Amino acid sequence: MKLLELLGVFGGLALFLHGMQMMSSGLEAAAGSRMKAILEKLTANRVMGVLVGALITAAVQSSSATTVMVVGFVNAGMMTLNQAVWLIMGANVGTTITGLLIALDVGALAPVVAFAGVFLMVFVKRAKLQHVGQILAGLGILFIGMDTMSAAMAPLREFPLFIRLMSTLSNPLLGILFGALFTALIQSSSASVGILQTLAAGGVIQFSGAVFVLFGQNIGTCITAVLASLGASRSAKRTTCIHLLFNVIGTVMFTAAVMVFPIIPMIEAAVPSPKAEIAVMHVVFNLVTTILLLPLGNWLARLATRLLPDREEAPGGTEMRLAYLTPVTAGGKDGGLGVSAIVVDQLRNELHRMLEMARQNVETSFRTVLDRDVEPLGRVEQREEYIDFLNQEISRYVSRLIAIETNEQGSRTVSSFFTIAGNIERIGDHADNLAGYTRLLAEKDIFFSQNAQEEIRQMRDVTLRTVSALFSGEAGNNGWLSQVARLEQKIDDMTADFRREQLGRMREGACSAEACILFSELLTDFERIGDHVLNIAQELTRAGTTL
């Protein structure tokens, strides 16, 4: 094989993979932020879930992209493991469309499709049509790449070493292993199946050996989802396990079937060309496996849970970690199908967790002041360090995402989350200040008067009401914002009233100088917490989202 022909193979593969990436990015830009709502409506039952998975995969020509999206949704808590099963089954069915299109030789239309897509991207101003153009251009480039590979591989039929290698693949185990490794290497079953069709069309590999390579390719495509689940939650890893189980079970069943029943001769007799034979077998493999496993979907989810049980937390473990934020695509690449919805929900869940820690510290700190009890202060300080850690990690994550986010609504929401994280961190700081006053009260034997203690109780109650309002399901709309603004104004009014009351107690000599100073500082923290809650509420309303 000459160097130019080898370069043609790699160049065609590069175009094929780039075309798939363009299609995925175009779909993400067009519908990424709405992906969650679409999936929630359409995955209510198993049949609809399979259809949705198949349609999404057919649209982007990549089961890997769909599966990585599903892993991200499960990791973000947007989807249950049982819902994920149906989408994964559908993705395996949808990925067969590429092989069918190659078998039908629609590549002749590829330049026209690519030109139409580029025309929309370059000359049309409407963003939605530009995204459609990106999808069409990607589809055209994908098939141009396949034609380039096909032309470059034609001489392989005369290459003795390659012919000997292909002849060994009639051994089922070797064929499955080769297909799995090659697909794992290029991370695209659509591309590897297309290459297999090209080899079969050139007479380099017989259909009887190609079927085993094809079965292995279905296993190899799982590698992308495996990489995407690294560092993800246990549920996300189980999603990947389901994908792997589906294809391994299908491979075992079909390997046994083709060795016992005359399936290969039947397809060879009924189908006119080697390309079409492989496309038909690919459809039969995934469709039959889906039909057989469809009633067992919940069983697959339970099996994955048994294979990957929840880890037991070490007693007294205090290691700080991100519970939801993980890389949303494989191999460290940013972007990908559904990334807007995945990122928004990952960030929302992490911020919810961070805000709950801040709320707990506010509640505990007020209680320690009233009880003059220093024992809980260690837990307050640990949570404060955790809040600082989360703020740092969330801010770093957001700063990276802002640069690559393609969806306008997703970008606006992610930017708002950056501001929200900073305000939650400041609430945590003021709660920590409150806890510090307890230590001074105990060390210097300072006591607040009965009136001052009653005012602190009122401060505690209204502060907790105000912070807890951020968890409301009504968050993000103007009516809710008005309610939070009224609570914040109440805090301001109470601060002014309590300062006047404090001045009266000072004139009457009803409180010590140290107690007056601490009470004044406490009022300042009380008032600032209200300000930061209002800031968060305004950002949530601007982004039109909730925590």
Residue extent(s) of CATH 1.20.58.220 domains in the chain: 338-543
pLDDT tens-place string over residues 333-362: 444 555 566 777 788 889 999 999 999 999
pLDDT tier for residue 115 given thresholds of 50, 70 and 90: very high
| Greatest mean pLDDT range, 99-113, 128-142, 335-349, 381-395 | 381-395
Query: What pLDDT sits at residue 285?
Result: 93
pLDDT at 184: 84
Give the model confidence (pLDDT) of 261-281 as tens digits. Answer: 999 999 989 988 888 899 999
* Cα–Cα distance, 385 to 429 (Å, whole number): 10
Buried residues in 43-78 as b, exposed as e (16+ CB within 10 A): beebeebbbbbbebbbbbbbbbbbbbbbbbbbbbbb
Alpha helices in 32-62 (DSSP H): 35-42, 46-60
Rounded mean pLDDT of 101-113?
76
Is there a contact between 298 and 85 (Cβ–Cβ < 8 Å)? yes
Between 226 and 156, the higher pLDDT residue: 226
Its pTM stands at 0.66
For residue 70, give the nearest of 58, 56, 61 by alpha carbon.
56
pLDDT value at position 334?
46
Average pLDDT over residues 206-230: 85
Query: What is the per-residue pLDDT for 345?
Result: 78
Q: For residue 408, what are its two tokens?
A: 């306008």
Provide the token pair at 533. 């809650």
One DSSP character per residue, 417-483 reads: HHHHHHHHHHHHHHHHHHHHHHHHHHHTT----HHHHHHHHHHHHHHHHHHHGGG-TTTTSHHHHHH
- Give the whole-angstrom CA distance, residue 88 versus residue 287: 12
Average pLDDT score over the chain: 82
Query: What 8-state DSSP symbol labels residue 203?
Result: T
Nearest of 85, 100, 21, 99 to residue 53 by alpha carbon = 85
Question: With 70 as the cut, is the pLDDT of residue 526 above it?
Answer: yes
Distance (Å, whole) CA 537 – CA 476: 7
pLDDT tens sequence across 125-154 = 887 788 888 888 887 887 787 677 767 766
- For residue 431, what pLDDT is reported? 94
**Of 171, 176, 167, which is closest to residue 251 (Cα–Cα)?**
176
Please say if the pLDDT value at position 493 is more than 60. Answer: yes
Instruction: State residue 221 phi and psi, 5-degree precision.
Output: -65, -15
- pLDDT confidence of 159, banded at 50, 70, 90? low
Tokens 């500082």 belong to 521
- Give yes or no for residue 105 having a pLDDT over 70: no
**Residue 315 has what pLDDT?**
38
Pick the CATH number of 338-543 from 3.40.50.300, 3.30.450.20, 1.20.58.220, 3.30.380.10: 1.20.58.220
Model confidence over 427-452: pLDDT tens digits?
A: 999 999 999 999 888 888 888 888 99
**Residue the block writes with tokens 């969806």:** 407
Assign 3-class secondary structure to 315-369: CCCCCCCCCCCCCCCHHHCCCCCCHHHHHHHHHHHHHHHHHHHHHHHHHHHHHHH
Residue 455 has pLDDT above 70, yes or no: yes
The predicted pLDDT at position 333 comes to 44
| In the block, residue with structure tokens 């067992």 | 296
More confident residue, 194 or 411: 194
- Give 512's DSSP letter: -
